[in-house]
Structure 1
Amino acid sequence: MKIKSLILGSAAALLAVSGARAADAVMAPEPEPVDYVRVCDAYGAGFFYIPGTETCLSINGYVWFQVGATSRQDANDTPGYYYNDDHDFGPFAAHTGWQTGSRVRINFDARSETEWGTLRGWMRLQASWDQQSKFGDGPVGIDQAFVQLGGFAAGYGESAWFYQFNNSTLNYGSFSWGGLYYGYTERAQIRYEFGGKTGLYGAISLEDPKDELNYMPNVVGRIGYGAAWGAVALTGAYDHDRTGLAVGGDAGWALSGSALFNIPSMPGSALKIIGYYNGSDSEYGPGGPLNGYTLTNAAFPGGVDLGQPEWSVLASFLYQATPDLGLIVSGQYFGDAYIAGGDDTVNGTSAWAAEVSAVWTPVKNFEVRPEIVYTKAEHLDGTVSGFLRFTRYF
């Protein structure tokens, strides 16, 4: 009997202790509901909603490596082109060594809808390595950035002078990347633009002059029309003070007419033609092999710096041989160059350039691009330059 009582008492004690511990147990909280990332298809592929907001975000970019070379030996040869420390293409150094370059680019694009139209914030991070920086880390910088509401935009980015066609992702002056000249420049600007991929489109842009000490902006305007057959556009630029002087500077102006024709019987193929005219050497125009070149001859024994050509015509034909291979043939002619900062041209300074290139995408988002260009100024020997580039887009 005593043994039975002892067993029952022990069991009761154990149950009491277990109940006390159960009362003190910490229960795990219920998991919070997960706000999964949602696809945003309002602005095309690649956008997603930032969790907890109605803002759509896209992140994309590329990484590329290239190696180039030139036949240019010295100042008696026409300048060629390669990727340089200005983070773009520029004159080859006067030697025949290999020129290597790499670039990393990341774009962030945030958009949402308001009663005033699309609210957008866009920025580009970029780092480049070249002959000057290849033995160190590439400097990462904000290459471009702007804010936009409806048709109004303000920030730092590509000048309105550079773009011609709203309905073409190939807005460069040629379908090629490096050897020809199409007036690429980046500016701080305030602009208003209208129109879409078809129909009437245009823009007016107030742009911060380079190296000018005054309160007046440069003005760039563009008007154009796009359709299934292609597009046409007319662009004009007014350089308030092309001499860069705070007082007494002279104004300059430039015009550009562009046409893009899609080839009906060749899907993906197109012809692009652009004409440029400069009233003087200003910040606008296509540039050219002799822009920035110091000419020394009988007329200028002490040397004279050259600027923009008076006029130029560029033509570029893209033949889409297969869905994965595009072949490009381009050419450009440059009329006599102006004296830098002036309105007088120098006879014997016309030039021309011819280029062949290809774009091969063996797999999606991977591009192999070779380009070869021949440049020849009237008073200089010709130069052959080129590069081979590998790009991974994402």
Structure 2
Amino acid sequence: MRLVAYALLGSTVACAVAGSARAADLPVRKAGPIEYVRVCSAYGAGFFYVPGTDTCLRVSGRARFEGGYITSYTRQAGTNSGDTSGYRGLLRINLDTRTQTAYGTLRAFVRLDAGSRAGAAGVGRSGTQERLGLAYIGTGVDENGRAQQVMNVDKAFIQFAGLTAGRASSFFDFYAHDFELSSATAGSDVASTNLLAYTATFGGGLSATLSVEDPVFRRTPIFAPSGGTAPVAPVFVGYTRGVPSGFANIDSIQRERLPDVVGALRLDQAWGSAQISAATHELNVGNIALGTGANAAVAHTNSVQGWAVQGGVKLNAPFVAPGDVLYLQGAYGDGAQFYTGYSTFSGSAGQSPATIQGQKFQQFFSDATIDPVTGQLQTSQSFTAVASYLHYWSPDWRSAVFGSYGEQSFGRGARLAQGAAFDVASTLAGSNPFGANAVGAPGTRFYQLSQALRDTYQFVAGASLIWSPVKDLDIGVEGYYTQIGLKSGRAIDLDKSPTAYANIAGINAGTVVPRTATQDSVSQIRFRVQRDF
């Protein structure tokens, strides 16, 4: 038995050795190299090398919840009428890529914003976003106009050797509501526009930029009275030896022709920053059809170059508290109201948007009117001034206090000329065909009280308190007060006398005495929870 055991053991060992020898003759497959993600420290925290390239990438984003309250003075029928609360959820994704080249850093940056809004205007619904085709309202019975989905390519630009090309913030802007949750103050803030710019840098933090920018994102409507089917609105316009001569149609849609040209001179140093910027902005309308039927003629309205200038300074105040900053900014525009940001609160979705629910009278934000005698454009003027101060009570707690003042005025004689044209048109038509936006006949009571083309002012004041218990988390609340008013005279109170415009003859005859107002105001509170990563 022992002999058999030794024989079996020997056979097993022999087989094992033979198998090993045959295995040694087979080819060996080597494991592929493992390429680990490497940190890229050249451009700051968060960047890493894209595997297999020399390009550094940073992925970041944001999640935000907002809820708010806005005063409302009406429960009349209408979209959003009577809403006092609103809510919004927002997501943001950022991709920042940078590659070092012989000419310097090659950068591409993209940002996608998406959100869901509901409720009151100013907190939820955004008419300006709808105008730009970035927001889509709910059409159900209960949520009609109150629910809204937003999708926005906020940034998509390339930077290389001083060149910036793509969708980016306007180089005209400076303060741009940096310390505000609601962007309530009057001031230019176009975060997304298409542009091609070159920036030259000099010593000592000085730089100069020349930017060609898309004019669509700076447009407000040319004034046209109501009563027709948009975008063509009827107005009495034309001339024969200087005398108004016939009815006409205005094609108030502006053509995409000349781009806006923006120039900015900026200084950045340890004490803060300063910037002076200027812009040109073309205003144009289609041809004006004079007369009707076979006798219709065409009048040409010359385009006009609007313009704007702005100056601002940012002052660091570490002597008060680390992180404290003061912004001061002022802007003036002729035919370029969007550059002064006078319509920031109400938005520029229409020539007279009404954000205040139950608004007593509407502001008109048109960049120009059409002279009913000459058929040419008359520009409006606007200016704004804003101040904002950020203070850190501690590293975890901070507050902002901000305010602004602005005015808009229409060309001298513009309202008088429009009113005279309306008077002639009404006489020829046998009635007033232009509805609630009619200026009225000069010398009448209605002309004195109508809201169209009235010079207005706007005042904003607000403050916020934000808590950051951990890095990149903000929990804050903001409240502010906005007042709009007429620079002179009174206007029909649309809230207390909502049917007054339906009886213009009665107002002029004195049989109808509408309630009037000189100013209107609104207060808002907004709460935000925001996490950046």
Asked whether the equivalents of residues 192 and 204 of structure 1 are also in contact (C-alpha less than 8 Å), the reply is yes
Query: What is aligned with 1:18?
Result: 16
Structure 1 pair 140–351 and aligned structure 2 pair: CA distance change class (3 A): closer
Specify the alignment match of 1:158 in structure 2.
Answer: 169
Asked whether the 8 Å contact 2:114–2:151 carries over to 1, the reply is yes
2:352 aligned with 1:294: yes
> Is 1:231 the counterpart of 2:273 in the alignment?
yes
Which residue matches 2:505? none
Structure 1 or 2: more strand by fraction: 1
Q: C-alpha deviations, 1:90-148, integer Å up to 9, x for none? A: xx944233200011111111101111111111111221111156999966553310112
Residue 116 of structure 2 is matched in structure 1 by 129
Secondary structure at 2:40 match in 1:
coil
1: CA distance between counterparts of 2:203 and 2:179?
19
Query: Secondary structure, in 3 states, of the residue corresponding to 2:180?
Result: coil
Which letter maps to 1:256?
Q
Task: Report the counterpart of residue 182 of structure 1 in structure 2.
Answer: 187
Deviations along 1:37-86, one digit per CA (max 9) or x if unpaired, are 2222211222122222211111112111010110033599xxxxxxxxxx
Which residue of 2 is the match for residue 193 of structure 1? 199
Deviation readout 1:350-380 (Å, 9 max, x if unpaired): 1111111122211111101211111111144
Say if 2:186 and 2:385, in contact at 8 Å, map to a contact too: no
What's the counterpart of residue 371 of structure 1?
478
Letter in 1 for 2:466: V
Measure, in 2, the Cα distance between the counterparts of 1:235 and 1:326. 30
133-142 or 112-121, larger mean C-alpha shift:
133-142
CA deviations on 1:151-183 (whole Å, 9 max, x unpaired) are 111111211122x2xxxxxx4245213221322
Does the 8 A contact of 1:174 with 1:272 survive in 2? no
Structure 1 residue 252 displacement after superposition: 0.8
Task: Give the corresponding residue for 1:321.
Answer: 393
Residue number in structure 1 paired with 2:157: 146
Q: What does 1:1-394 correspond to in 2, within 5 Å?
A: 10-11=8-9, 13-19=11-17, 21-22=19-20, 23-24=22-23, 29-74=29-74, 93-131=80-118, 132=137, 142-162=153-173, 164=174, 171-173=175-177, 175-178=179-182, 179-185=184-190, 186-195=192-201, 199-210=205-216, 212-239=254-281, 241-243=282-284, 245=286, 248-266=302-320, 267-288=322-343, 289=345, 292=350, 294=352, 305-307=364-366, 310-338=382-410, 346-378=453-485, 379-394=518-533
Specify the code of the residue in structure 2 equivalent to 1:110.
T
Change in 2 beyond 3 A, CA 1:119/1:317: same
TM-aligned CA deviation for residue 303 of structure 1: 8.3
Work out whether residues 108 and 124 of structure 1, in 8 Å CA contact, stay in contact via their aligned partners in 2.
yes
Structure 2: which 5+ residue stretches go unaligned? 119-136, 217-252, 288-300, 355-360, 368-380, 417-451, 486-517
With over 3 angstroms needed to count, the CA separation of the structure-2 counterparts of 1:5 and 1:319, relative to structure 1, is closer
> What is the DSSP-based 3-state SS (H/G/I as helix, E as strand, rest coil) of the residue aligned with 2:16?
helix
Per the alignment, do residues 50 and 386 of structure 1 end up closer, same or farther by CA in structure 2, a change over 3 Å counting? Answer: same
CA distance in 2, matches of 1:245, 1:112: 47
1:227 shift after superposition: 1.7
Structure 2 residue identity aligned to 1:96: D
Measured after TM superposition, the shift of residue 29 of structure 1 is 4.2
Give yes or no for contact 1:111–1:120 (8 Å, CA) kept in 2.
yes
- Counterpart amino acid of 1:177? L
Aligned residue type for 2:528: R
Give 2:107's aligned amino acid. Answer: R
Residues 108 and 375 (structure 1 numbering): CA distance in 2 closer, same or farther, change over 3 Å? Answer: same
Distance change in 2, residues 1:284/1:33 (3 Å)? same
- How far apart, in 1, do the equivalents of 2:98 and 2:178 lie? 30
Give the count of matched residue pairs: 362
Q: Which runs of 5+ in 1 are unaligned?
A: 77-91, 165-170, 297-301
Which residue of 2 is the match for residue 89 of structure 1? none
Query: Do 1:281 and 1:338's aligned partners in 2 also have CA atoms closer than 8 Å?
Result: no
User: What is the RMSD of the two structures over their aligned residues, measured on CA atoms?
Assistant: 3.5
1:314/1:331 contact within 8 Å kept: yes
Distance 1:218 1:348, change over 3 A: closer
| 1:176 partner SS | coil
Report if the CA contact (8 A) 1:253-1:282 is conserved: no
Identity among equivalent pairs (%): 27
Q: By how many angstroms is 1:225 displaced?
A: 1.4
Deviations 1:196-228 (A, max 9, x none): 996212211101221753442111111021222
Change (3 A) 1:196 1:294: same
Give the distance between the partners of 2:86 and 2:401, measured in 1 at CA: 23
**Offset of 1:335 from its aligned partner?**
1.1
**In 2: Cα distance, 1:304 partner to 1:356 partner:** 25
- SS of the residue aligned with 2:67? strand
C-alpha separation between the residues in 2 aligned to 1:251 and 1:191?
20
**Separation in 2 of the partners of 1:295 and 1:157?**
26
1:181 counterpart SS class: coil
Change (3 A) 1:235 1:69: same
One-letter amino acid of the counterpart of residue 63, structure 2: V
Q: Which moved more, 1:213-222 or 1:368-377?
A: 213-222
Q: Deviations over 1:316-336 (max 9, x none)?
A: 112221112111111111113
Q: Which moved more, 1:93-102 or 1:201-210?
A: 93-102
Alpha carbons 1:174, 1:180 under 8 Å: kept:
no
Greater C-alpha Rg: 2
Hey, what's the Cα distance between the residues in 2 that align with 1:45 and 1:259? Answer: 29
In structure 2, how many angstroms separate the alpha carbons of the residues matched to 1:303 and 1:110? 46
> What amino acid sits opposite 1:227 in the alignment?
Q
**1:375–1:258 distance in 2 versus 1, CA, 3 Å:** same
Change (3 A) 1:52 1:29: same
| Structure ranking higher in helix proportion | 2
Looking at structure 2, the residues matched to 99 and 244 of structure 1 have their Cα atoms a distance apart, in angstroms, of 37
